[in-house]
Amino acid sequence: MTARRLDGVEIARQIKDDVRARLARAAARGVRPGLGVILVGDDPASAVYVRSKTRTCEELGLFHETRHLPVSASTGDVLAAVDDYNGRPGIHGILVQLPLPRQVDTQSVLDHVAPEKDVDGFHPVNVGRLVQKRPRFVPCTPAGIMEMLARSGVEVAGRRAVVLGRSDIVGKPMALLLMHADATVTVCHSRTRDLPAVTREADILVAAIGKAGLVRGEHVKPGAVVVDVGMNRVSDPAAARDLLEPSRFAEFERKGHALVGDVHAPSVQAVAGALTPVPGGVGPLTIAQLIANTVRAAGAA
């Protein structure tokens, strides 16, 4: 058996097509949604993410602006940038690119974003609304995964789901969304005992723990749907040979590095019923969902 590929690029294209239709209706009313981005420092991965998000804004016709602060910026400096975006009517969504430098109080910054502009869904008000099953904005990665499952014909109601990871950004909201969709949900983490025994119970397994290749064939129930949220850079040839399928190892030899997920694709591919690739799986969905949230924040139905 070879797992069916869940193509995040194709699902993201479908989401963006939906967004285009909503943008056309908004334009007819004279509304152009706007996204304000705050980037602190020069982290290469963060810069790549911001470029991808702003490129998608340009593709779809959203207004966007990026405030790039130096790595030495204080919490007050970042709060001032948030204040500016909070007060500007042409900015409907605010994205604070994480992680922030160590000296910046991340929670204070996220709490300072106006809840009605919090398109990442991290403000306590929006977290609370999600818990109560009346969300305003849902964090983009879990929301994108739910869209992918629905558009790929994966039944969630009545299934056993296991979420590997308990972060505020992915693990916790993912568990809530699956529970709200009537799955029976277990959340695993670094203190979970006999992890393979727990994950093998899953009809739907979401891996979001940030460890390259942790989930292997023995962790997966035959026929399960496996969603790989991990994005890990590998530059060691021995690790790459273990983690990559042969077709991707040739690419690694050319570039000297590769992105891999939390799932050991070569072994899981032979057991799972469906699997998201890395790259090309969850990543494009996250960006598409951010834009969809921004359009929603602008009231573009």
Which is catalytic among the residues 97, 228, 262, 289?
97
Predicted local confidence at residue 53, as pLDDT: 92
DSSP codes, 108-176: HHHHHS-GGG-TT--SHHHHHHHHTT--SS--HHHHHHHHHHHHTT---TT-EEEEE---TTTHHHHHH
In the CATH scheme, what is the code of domain 140-283? 3.40.50.720
Which is catalytic among the residues 53, 117, 172, 221?
53
- Give 301's pLDDT tier (boundaries 50, 70, 90): low
Percent of the chain at pLDDT > 90 equals 88
In the CATH scheme, what is the code of domain 31-115? 3.40.50.10860
**Regarding predicted confidence, which is higher, 171 or 249?**
171
Which is catalytic among the residues 16, 118, 120, 269?
120
Instruction: Give 1-50 pLDDT, tens digit per residue.
Output: 689 999 999 999 999 999 999 999 988 899 999 999 999 999 888 888 89
Predicted local confidence at residue 247, as pLDDT: 82
53 as an active site residue: the answer is: yes
| pTM across the whole model | 0.95
Predicted local confidence at residue 1, as pLDDT: 66
120 as an active site residue: the answer is: yes
Instruction: Give 86-114 pLDDT, tens digit per residue.
Output: 999 999 999 999 999 999 999 999 999 99
- The DSSP call for residue 93 is E
The yes-or-no answer to whether 31-115 and 140-283 have a common fold is: yes
Domain ranges of the chain: 31-115, 140-283
Q: Say how many C-beta atoms besides its own lie within 10 A of residue 181's C-beta.
A: 18
